[in-house]
Amino acid sequence: MKGILLAGGTGSRLHPLTKVTNKHLLPVGREPMIHHPLKKLLELGIQDILVVTGLEHMGEVVNLLGSGRAFGCRITYRVQDEAGGIAQALGLAEGFVGEDPMLVLLGDNIFQSSLHEAQRRFLESGAEALVLVKDVPDPGRYGVADVRDGVVRGIEEKPAHPRSSFAVTGIYFYSPGVFHIIRTLKPSGRGELEITDVNNEYIRRGTLQSAVLDGWWTDAGTFESLALANQLISGVTA
């Protein structure tokens, strides 16, 4: 299994902090933010990891992570020239992934639980896609999963009136067929290729699986959620 860390974007919600550095290099606890999802990949024995980040701060990310030798893995890099969406960033991984399954993590996702069980389920089932969802108090900030009888029936991106309280976390298991779907996508109203459109295509095919993420989880893309991430990490590492 290959690992993909998506660490691009402009981090506009964290200005002015992100005027001088990549969002994913900001501290969460005693480490840079990106260390936390990286460790989740390493826990699963994933040793080949691709980091996708933006052009402006690529050098800083490379200076931090290097070749991966310090972490016992091999890190490759791809540049997302513009903020074109999560699916566009994932599309840059096609040559790296080859015919292997992959675990895709958003670099600002900070969470408690191991992904061993989700990985096992994905690999043993032969599924095309598996997403992790989480019951949250503010689902409208995320892609919202319409979950009925334990099955995701649809996903709506940042709805004003969410159909459920289940957010789609930035944790995705995919087969390499995901790149065929990405090539068929058209930009959304935001001008981006949306990962929600990828997952909804799997729903249309009847091949998307889901699981509820145990433990605490947050993104760290706003001042409020970055502060929460620091509180949560401090609580489990004190």
**Domain range annotation of the chain:** 2-237
DSSP state of 23: G
Domain 2-237 CATH (choose: 3.90.1150.10, 3.90.550.10, 3.40.1080.10, 3.40.50.1970): 3.90.550.10
Check: CB of residue 28 under 8 Å from CB of residue 38. Answer: no
pTM score, whole prediction: 0.95
**Which pLDDT tens digit goes with each residue over 61-114?**
999 999 999 999 999 999 998 878 999 999 999 999 999 999 999 999 999 999
What whole-number distance in Å separates Cα of residue 195 and Cα of residue 230?
A: 27
Helices (H) and strands (E) in the chain, counts: 8, 13
Contact between 11 and 53 (Cβ < 8 Å): no
pLDDT one digit per residue (tens) for the chain, 238 residues: 999 999 987 778 888 888 888 899 999 999 999 999 999 999 999 999 999 999 888 999 999 999 999 999 999 999 998 878 999 999 999 999 999 999 999 999 999 999 999 999 999 988 899 999 999 999 988 999 998 777 889 999 889 999 899 999 999 999 999 999 999 999 998 889 999 999 999 999 999 999 999 999 999 989 999 999 999 998 854 3
